[in-house]
Every structure is written in C-alpha cells, then in structure tokens.
Chains A and B, each alone.
Chain A
Amino acid sequence: MLTKLTKSFLFIVIGIIANSCIEKFDPDIDDYDDQLVVHGLITNLDEPYIIRLSKTSPLDEPEFRPYTGATVYVEDDEGNNYAFPEVEPGIYQTNSFTGEVGTSYRLDIVTATGDVYQSDYQELLNSSDIDSVYTVTETRPTEDPYYDEVGLQFYVSTQMISSNQLYYMWQLEETYEFNSDYPLEYTYSGRFTPYPYPLEFFTCWATNQIEDVFLFDASDLSSNELQKVPLQYVNTETRRLSIRYSLMTNQFVINEDTYEFFKSVQEMNSGGDLLYSIQPYQITGNIECLSNPDEKVLGLFWVAGKSSKRIFIDRPENMLFYYEICPVNTQGVPFISNYSPSDWPLYLTYNNVGVLGIVGRSCVDCTQRGGFLAKPDFWIDK
C-alpha cells in the first residue's frame, strides 16, 4: 500500500556490437523478355546524328543486340523529313541536316514487321559554352577506416545564357597516356633474344567513355552562373593519372523531360541510399508504340544544345600512386629452360637493380592493359 523506495540502475558490463554488412548476392531472376530500346540524339552541331535500335539483353549476357531492318526518320515541326539509313546493324545514321535551335523534332520508326513507333516533339535548345573544367586534389574515405584515398575531383563551370537553359547534362570521355612497367629487353623461346625496340610497347593511350552522366537542375538557382559542379573523381589507385590525362566534356542543355529521364537512369543505376533506397521502377521514355499501345518501349529520343571542352592534366605532383607494379622474377632465370614451350615466348626485363628477370606480358606491353600505341589526333604533348 505504500511505495517502497526502489532505485534501479541498469549497468551494461559488456556490449559487443556487430557490424552491419553488405555482401554480394545472387538473386534468382527468371523474368526476361525482349523489349525495343531506342536511343537518338539531335544536337545543334554539324555532326553525324545516330539513332540506335536494339533489344534488351538478359542480365547474365549483357550485349548490344541490334534491331535491324527498320525504317527510321526524323520529322521536324515544319514537316521536313530526314531519313536515317542503317549503316551498321542497329545503327541508323545521317549527316544530311543540322539541328536548328528553336525547331522541334520527332522520331518515327517503322519496323520490318510493320509496327510503328513514334516519339513526342522535342524542341532544340541553344547551347551554352563551358567556361572551364578544372581539378581539385581531394581525399576520400574508404572501407578501411585508417586509409583515405587521394585523387583529383573534376569540376565544371559554365554560364546560362537564356532563361530556358535550366537543365544540364555532362557526358565525359577520358583519354590517358600510360606506360608499361618495364621496357621489353629480351624474349625467350628456347633461347634468349634481345628485343630490338625495348620501348615499342612501352607507351599507350587509352580512351574510355565514363559510364556516369552528370546532371544539374539549375531551375532553383538564383545566379546565372554554374560554378564548381562536380564531375568525376579519379583516384591514384590506377595508372590513369600517371603520365598525362585528358578529359573531353560534352555539355548538353536539355529539357525537363530529358533531365528526368537521365535522373531516373542515375537513380536506378546507383543503388542509392543504404537505408532508404527509393522504389526502383522501369524507366519510361518518350517513345510509344502506335500499332500496339500496350507494348512498352525503352529509351529516349532527345535533342540538346551541345558544346564541348577538352582539357589536359599532367601527373599531379606531390601525390603518391598506389597501383601495383609487376614483380620481376629473377630467381626463375637460371631455371628458364624448365618452362614448358607452350608458355613461350617468355618476356624478360631488368629489375630496378639491373638484374634480368621474367615478367608477364602485360608488364612490358601496354596494349595488354587496354591501350593503343597510336597517339590520338587531338593529343597535345606536355
């Protein structure tokens, strides 16, 4: 009937906390069917325009599966028709016209089986020039709490010229010069042969399209300058920045629908926030099947004001690189005759103290690492 004085303390002596974990996972997916995929772009530049028609491919065999035999043409709002003949399977191309700012364009496709597809009208917006593309040295945390990676963050600054240039997209293409780890000094195919041009496979250039697209919505901005919009980040764990690096930035002034489309692409490809990931969905573009409205068509026909800028970056100073360099097997040389002839030719080089050793081909041949020996036309040496 009366309260007893109770005072209780909860005291935890040991608390071992487990980590959350992320691991690879193999879902059982069995639901696949072919869908038509369309991609087409018209710009304000005098360049060949390409419409690509393909079919979706299963997850485990990703490939571009061309859709051939279609009749493809673009129609503008003044009634002009431009045919896109098929130049390669699935690639329909023309350079018979140049996009005009202010004109709207529509894509029409008639397949060999008589199905008709059509996009909506898209108005071509004016392009705006890129002010600058530049880099800033930045570090980033990694999975290892005691180690941060270092690298270059690329930024772009540009200007909006008119008030309808509200949505921006940047697509990037990188080209970099890099070296093999060693010159090729000897080959061995039963006997040692000095290689006549040790540096023949030493320097390469590699070109890659950057998978990510970069988007910016300027509709809420108060200023008409876009400054320091982040593009890609390149760390020093690879050879990309090791000698000289070039980045081609293509800037597109796009409309809201195109922005939303690529925003969805970005969202759906990134995996998103760990805890609050958004509901995934099939991205619908602007192409409809007129002959069968229930058929869902993937992809987009878009028009954009395009401008480009290429920059070159030398190997950053005072920055350590962490890519692996091939070991040189000097101990194996006395026993080289024991190698099976099926492994011939063996490649040999001098290690850093001048002792001859065996190395793998990719250590002396940069083409093995995705490079080409020919210097690209646009390349400007340091």
Chain B
Amino acid sequence: MILLSLSFNSYSQKNIVLIPKEYNGLNWSQFVEKLENHYHIRFFYEDDILSKQVVSIKDSISLNDFLEMEMRNTNLHFLDDGNGNYFISKSEISNYDLSDLFISDEKEPEIEDNDKTNENYLKTNNDYANRTIIIGSRKKAKNGKKCTISGYVRSSENNDPIVGCTIYIKKLGIGAVTSSSGYFSITVPKGLHILTASSIEQNEKKITIDVRSEGTLNFFMEKRLVSLDEVVVTGDSYDNVRSTSMGLERLAIKNVKYIPQMFGEADLLKVALMLPGVQNTGEASSGFNVRGSPSDQTQFFINNVPIYNTSHLFGFFSAFNSDVVEEFKLYKSNIPAEYGGRLASVFDITTTEGNKQKFSARGGISPIMARLFVETPVQKEQSSAYVGFRSTYSDWILKRVQSPDIRNSRAGFYDVVTGVNYKIGDNHQIELFGYLSSDDISFSTLADYKYENIGGSLNWRYRLNSKSKFNLSTVYSRYWFEEANHEVALNAFRHQFEIDNYKLKGVLNFIPNNNHNISTGFESTFYSIQRGKHMPLADQSVVSAINLGSENSIENALFVSDEWKILPYFTVYGGLRFNNYNFLGGQNVYHYENNSPFEEETIIDTSFYKNGEIVKTYNSFDFRLAMNYMLTTSLSFKASVNSLHQQLFQLSNTISISPTAKWKMADYHIKPLEGYQYSVGVYSSPDATSLELSTELYYKTVNNLVEFKNGADLTLIEIPETEIVQGDLKAYGIEFMLKKKSGRLNGWLNYTYSKSEARVQSPIIENEINYGNPYPTNFDKPHAFNLVVNYKFNRRFSISSNVVYNTGKPVTYPVGIYYLDGRRIINFSGRNEYRLPDYFRVDLSVNVEGNLKAKKFAHGSWSFSVYNLLGRKNAYSVYFKNEDGKINAYKLSVFGAPIVTLTYNFKFGNYAD
C-alpha cells in the first residue's frame, strides 16, 4: 500500500512554479483549468468540495507545496501520482482508492493481491484510466455469476454525454453502446475484465475492471487532441462489424472540417453525398436520393424535429449551422422500428447539448455568410443554454453571374438554433429545442420566393433504473413557402403553402441483460396542410383569389423491437411497427365513373365529410428484421429485411426538387406508398489495422410511387387525383467501402453500382408516363466513386482531397423535329432515355497550422481550398432552344471553374485547445 508514485518521481511535475500574478485570486475551477491548459497535468476531484474556494498565492511557490499547504488548511487530501495526475479528496487517498472517484455507490477498502494490481498499473505508464477499477463489493454480491454494470460516459472536456460510444469486452465478445444521454448498461461475469471504450471524437480508452457485484461505472473520455487528420466516419472498428445495424453511416462535424468544400463552408450534409448510396440531382438541388429513392422518401430530424426543406439558396447550402450540429446518423437499410413514415432513409441530426460548465462562443465569417454560436451554463452542472445564428450576404456573388436573371436576383437566408437542457437529479433531464431556417429569394424581376422551416421540441428523459429508461418528446414543426410571381401584371399572384405537424412520441428502452435490448413506444402525429392560397398581387392583377383548402390527418404508430443476442456470435434484431393513418375531413371527396380516368368530366358524385370526420383509414404493419453473424471477431455477415409505409410525399415535376414543391398526404384516392428493402452485407475490420472494409447489396421496391401527369399545372391543383398518377419503383445496387480511420494517411474510398427505375402503367393512356414503359429515375447514376483522403505531413501541415466520379444522370433528349402550321416543335425521346456526360470533380485543400507553442494567446491556421480543381464543366442540365430555326443544345454547369478559397481560422488558446 506504499504510494507507487515514488517509482515514477522522474515523471512528476514538481518543477511547476505558481506565480502570484498568474494564479492569485482565481477560483478553483479557473485555477485547475489554467494549470491543465499550460501543463500536461490533470486534476481529479469531486466538484462540490473545492468550488467555493479562492486560490490565494502571495509568493511564488511550487505546485506541490502549494497543494500540500492548501489541503492542510481545508482538511482535504491530495495525491500526485507522478504522471501529472492530481487527486483531491475528503478522505485519505491511496492509489487503490482512485477508483472510488469513479464509483459512486460503493466505497470499501479492499485488500487485494498487490502484485497483480501493480502489474496492471506498471504496464500502462501514462494512462491513468488503465488501473483496475473495483465495481461493487463482495458483500453486496448476489448469487449467480453475472452482474449488470451501468453508468454514464462523459466528455472530459465539457462533461457532455458521449453518445454512441461503444463499450466492449473483447474477450467475452459482449458490448454495449451509449444512448443519447451517454448511458450504458452491460452484463458481465464477475471477475477481472478489460473494457474498451471508443467513440468518434474521443481517444480509445481501456479500463480494467474488477466486477464484484452490480454497480456503477461512470467515466470520462478525452477529446482526441489532433483533429487535423480526422476524416473518420464511424464510431469505432467494432461498431460496424458487431452491431446489427446495416447501412448506418455516422458523421461528426469536427471530422469533416478539413474536407475541401464549396466556398470553404464546413457542410456536413454535402459530405454525406460522398458516402455510398447517397446521391442528389446536382449542385442546386435540395434533398438526397438515398439508394435510388426520390428525396421525399428520406426524413430529416434535427433533435427530433422533422425538417421539410434542408437547404438554403436553391440547395447550395444545407440549412444546418455547422457550429451547432454535433453529428448525424443516416439509416439507409435497416431503419429502427421507432422511425416510420419514410421509405428510404432517416437522417438523424444531433446538436450539441450546450456547455454546462463554462461560457463559450465560436463563430465564423466566409464570403457567403457569417455565424455565431454561444453556449453557457444556466446553473452549473445542472443546466445549459445555447443559441446559434447564421446569416448570408451573398448578393455580391449573384451580381457577378452573367445571366441577367441571376444577376438581378437577391438571396437572403438565415437560421437560428437554440436550446436549453436541464438536469433534475441523476435521473431526469428536460431538453427544450428550437429551430428556424428562413430564405427570402428574389429571382430577377420575375418572382420572389420565401420559405421557412420552424420547429421545436420538448424532451423528457427519465432513467427509471439501471436497466430501463423512458423518453417522451413533444414536437412541433412547420414548413411554409410563398411565391410571388409578377412576370405578367395581369395575372400577378401570390401563392402560399403550409404544412404543420404536432407530434407526441414516447420510447421505453429496456435492457434486461446483455442479450436483449428492447425498445417500445408510440408515436402520434397530427398533420395539417394548407394546400395553397392564391391571391392577386398587384392592382392590375385580375387573378381571383382561390383557396385550395386544407388537409388534415392523424398518424398513430406503436412499435416494439428487440436486439437479441442468441449466441455470442449471432445477434438478431426484430422490430414491428403498426401504423394507423386517418385522413380527416372537412373534405369534399369526388367519385368518378368506373374505369375512367380521374378527371373533372368523369365526376359523378361528391360526398362531404365534416371537420374531424374520418374520410379514409389506412392501417399497415411494418416489420424490420436484421441479423449479424460473426464469422470471426473482425468479420461479420449481416442481412436485413424492412417493410415500410409512407403517408406524406412531395409533389414535383421538375428534375431537381425546388423549394416550392408541395407536400401532400395520402387521401381517399391517393394511397400511401409502400416499400420493401432487402440487404445483405459483409463487414470486416482486420485486427491491428485501422482499416474497415464493407460491402452491402440491396434490393428495394416501392409501390404507389406518386408522379405527375405530363404537363400538369403545379400551382393550382384543385383536385389532386386528376393530376397525379401512381406507379412503382425498383432499385438495387452494391456498395463497397474501404476506410482507413487513422494514421498519417486516412480517409475513405467507395464505389457503388446501382440502378433505379420507375414505371407508371395504367389502362388509360393519359395516365401513363413514358407510355407505361419503365424509365430510369432522375437520380439513377449506375457508377459512383468517391475518394476522400487526408495526408498529414506533420502536426502543422496536411493536405486533403476529394475525388468524385459518377455516371451522368439520365436525361430526356430531343430526337426529332416536326412542324405544326409552320412552327417547329421538338419531339423528345422516351423519358430519361439518354444520359448527361459523366460527372467528375477533384477538390483539394492544404491546411497549415500556426506554431505549436503551449503558451500563446491565440492560435491561427490557414486553409487553402480549391473546389473543382480541374475546372471541369460538369453538366448540371442540358436544355434545348429553338433558335432561328435551329435546335441548339445548351449545357448548364453550376460551377464552371475552380473555386478558390483561402481561409484564415483563429481561436483563443493554443493548438491543442
């Protein structure tokens, strides 16, 4: 029981001298923070014992002498372990007691086999956490071999919970993942185990635990100091191989900071496009096409708030402030049962929790926009508040564009994210969150567009016991747009659309033991759509006001899922979701002649449903099945089958989705979309490498796909079913992904081969698209290759590059000319029969960090980035004009030249701060 620090004296930081000028008058947390910043030392103490103290240093004094003195005055004890770790406690401390700092429920001096413990300790040198931590006590131990350990993993930097951290005991092949509150629970046999914790942004941590009874294990993880080389996508090597989740991609904002991007703006969603299976229809398109599905089949949540339009300014920027976003998860094959209502994928965006310790602010200025983010504790340790704001001043760029339409346009947008988190005791947490994104775009003198997403959520997290927790959310979200068209004064109009939804969702998570992870809950959403208000705009306008009326519906769902570890190497995930969708009145429902197309002329009867009356109910069962079979500890085979239903969809007949595409719900005549996806995959993470290889094969079908009839008038659809036709979609593909997660050279490379084909057939010719023949969807790009690579020469200098290649998107070309009364008319091919030229882009960025001095006021870094380095004029679209009797083809490239941005970043503190 002699202090082991003696043997490590050479590592001790005895030479730290405290100068009154620097340290006198600080309170303890400032004092500790300053020391931790300047020296490679770390303090461990319970927050309440020192927080009120003020440090008083009159003369220069060595740190250890000072502590000795100070502790004597306050009846506290401290221990310097010789490795720069300082422990302060109310009671006498020995190295063995260090574990008590992490264990809240038991303190019991234990007599141990010294040799063994020493061995553990000696092996680990500078890693404090690598000592044996005793959990529980033998006295408390119950009969039976297994004990449940639970606790919280938090960030050593700001005490934030670490979400999605994998806790894994390699020898036993068991593991757990932390929840959104950082909570985990794992059941292990009694005895000594080495527990590995890893997460995206933190250093991997190994903890040796000695389990004696049930107990708590709370610990901190350190932020990785060198984020320069980080382009890592997934949490850790085991996660992808061991979990049953397929097609799950995770990306954290900090990790994509150095990837070269358009206008130097760190944009998480744009990086998502470099993941396998994620496409869009070009630079100016909102929404993502995941695995061959239209963009309305992907749902976006930011802290549970659904977002209907995820982009600013015609899709050039995503509507999420990078300072606020912590990470996103993208589920593209096995979608957990708690999510429903969209067929293709779920983007789950998580914001920062707000700093509960300290006021903090960051911000940025780019040629396009400025942003500011502020976070502060409200009550220290208990509650935090944050607000992020971003706004543009991009008009000057538009003025430089040649086309008069764009030159005379104005573009304004801003977004605000704000939240408050409040912890009540150990078991309750309340979170309030608000989001607003607003665009105001004036397109030349022709039209103005305004659109806005606004939403908020109130979450209550309740930890019932070590094995179960409950989460209740109430969510409100609204999207609206207004189009003002003054092209022709006579029929100048203003058109408004709005969708609102109110949601209540409860999820109960229950982990009875290591082999089961059960989740169950309900979701109830009320949707209201204002289908369109059409109003005259100017005095001369003789447009008559039209109100298309509103649509209401209520969607209820019950879900249950279990992740069941049948064998140590075989895990099955099963989920069931019951959807009950009710389309509500007041509504006129039209009835049509049998076997004739839905047209105004064929209406034979109308029935009226009163407000709130159920017009039509659609009930459906969704199932989710996934399994993971571990062939070796680093190689697994997975398969999944999903069935899903979608009641809300977007109406669009443009190639890229515009901000004014309306949302529509399934109604009396238009049926909900129905989808199935089958995937299989092999995942490998070879030992002793930072490589991760995976391949996934998928096949999906969608029934009741919604398409517009050719030439449908979009603004004023009085009777939707007369303009809409329903068809089928079929998509399949294979994705290969190779990741190197760390090292000087890191990044990822992926290749996807995929097909996506739609078909709209009908006995009535007018209702068919492409005469009933199948056609490739607008986002069908069979070959897609992405390379994201970062090479770090040293700590100060690194180079990153992207290489993006994909097959040109499908396009409908003119194939002939004909004449009507002397006028030339272009005759087009079948839909999407041709393809645009292939897309190819290389981006490059060079990052240079300022000097690495520890003591400095501010740290600067330079980032020089070139988007589209080769200046390739990638076709966004091709269109044809009938000019002077000739049909001319034109190619529009959104970026026709390299975009060079030189960025200077600076922050207060040193490189590592």
Contact = CB atoms under 8 A, between A and B. Distances in A.
Interface of A: 1-27, 29, 31-32, 35, 37, 39, 41, 52, 54-59, 62, 64, 140-143, 145, 209, 211, 213, 216, 220-223, 225-230, 260, 263-265, 267-284, 296, 298-300
Interface in B23-69: 29, 32-33, 36-37, 42-44
Nearest to B405: A274
B828 interface: yes
Interface stretch (B577-585, B844-852, B875-883): B875-883
B361 A7 contact: yes
B815 A29 contact: yes
Given A31-B815, A58-B817, A220 B903 contact: no
Contact of B895 (A9, A10, A18, A222): A18
A223 to B, nearest CB: 4
Contacts of B43: 1
B812 to A, nearest CB: 4
A209 B823 contact: yes
Interface in B209-232: 220
B892 interface: yes
9 contacts: A2-B36, A4-B909, A6-B362, A12-B367, A17-B263, A20-B894, A145-B402, A221-B491, A267-B711
B690 interface: no
Contacts of A143: 402-404
A14 B899 CA distance: 11
A310 B5 CA distance: 106
A138 B263 CA distance: 37
B899 A211 contact: no
A16 B710 CA distance: 41
Given A3-B358, A141-B404, A275-B314, A226 B490 contact: yes
Interface of B: 29, 32-33, 36-37, 42-44, 156-159, 220, 263-264, 284, 314, 355, 357-367, 397, 399-408, 488-491, 534, 536, 540, 542-546, 653-656, 658, 710-711, 716, 765-766, 769-771, 778, 812-831, 833-834, 868, 871, 873, 875-882, 885-909, 913
A10 B361 contact: no
A12 B362 contact: no
A298 B827 CA distance: 9
B896 A20 contact: yes
A133 to B, nearest CB: 15
Contact of B542 (A3, A20, A213, A221): A221
A271 B817 contact: no
A-B pairs, top 3 by smallest CB distance, nearest first, are A10-B364, A8-B907, A15-B367
Given A6-B909, A52-B821, A15 B156 contact: no
A141 B544 contact: no
A340 B818 CA distance: 44
Contact of B819 (A3, A54, A58): A54
Contacts of A39: 819-821
A9 B364 CA distance: 5
Contacts of A298: 818, 825, 827
Contact of B901 (A12, A265, A284): A12
Contacts of A54: 818-819
A282 B827 contact: yes
Given A20-B894, A283-B825, A29 B905 contact: no
B158 A62 contact: no
Nearest to B37: A4
B890 A24 contact: yes
Contacts, number: 326
Contacts of B878: 25, 27
B403 A276 contact: no
Contacts of A20: 401, 403, 406, 892-896
A20 B314 CA distance: 14
Contacts of B880: 271
B906 A1 contact: no
Contact of B33 (A4, A209, A267, A279): A4
Contact of A37 (B363, B819, B900): B819
Given A272-B879, A276-B656, A279-B653, A8 B890 contact: no
A17 B401 CA distance: 10
Nearest to A1: B156
A54 B875 CA distance: 35
A166 to B, nearest CB: 12
B-side binding surface: helix, strand, loop or mixed? mixed
Contacts of A142: 404
Contacts of A25: 875, 878, 889-891
Nearest to B656: A276
B543 A222 contact: yes
Contacts of B829: 29, 31, 282
B668 to A, nearest CB: 24
A228 B401 contact: no
B906 A8 contact: yes
A23 B358 contact: no
Contact of B44 (A1, A35, A277): A1
A195 to B, nearest CB: 32
Contacts of A7: 360-363, 907-908
A32 B407 CA distance: 39
A299 to B, nearest CB: 6
A56 B827 CA distance: 8
A22 B876 CA distance: 10
A22 B879 CA distance: 10
A5 B488 contact: no
Contacts of B891: 22-25
Contacts of B905: 8-11
A62 B824 CA distance: 9
A71 B896 CA distance: 54
Nearest to B377: A3
A78 B896 CA distance: 62
B366 A271 contact: no
A280 B812 contact: yes
A280 B543 CA distance: 28
Contact of A59 (B360, B363, B876, B887): B887
Contacts of B816: 32, 35, 56-59
A220 B488 CA distance: 14
A4 B913 contact: yes
A41 B658 CA distance: 38
A278 B362 contact: no
| Interface-central residue, B766, B771, B825, B881, by most chain A CB under 10 Å | B825
Nearest to A38: B820
Contacts of B403: 20, 22, 143, 274
B365 A10 contact: yes
Contacts of B871: 18
Contacts of B830: 282
| Interface-central residue, A58, A269, A271, by most chain B CB under 10 Å | A271
A260 B363 contact: no
Contacts of A284: 710, 765-766
Contacts of B158: 2-3
A272 B875 CA distance: 16
Contact of A17 (B400, B546, B875): B400
A29 B357 contact: no
Contacts of A55: 818
A357 B894 CA distance: 49
Given A1-B42, A227-B542, 16 more contacts: A2-B357, A3-B158, A5-B909, A8-B908, A11-B905, A18-B898, A19-B897, A23-B890, A23-B893, A58-B816, A59-B817, A209-B822, A221-B543, A269-B826, A274-B405, A279-B812
Contacts of A270: 881
Contacts of B405: 274
A270 B883 CA distance: 10
A184 B254 CA distance: 78
B821 A277 contact: no
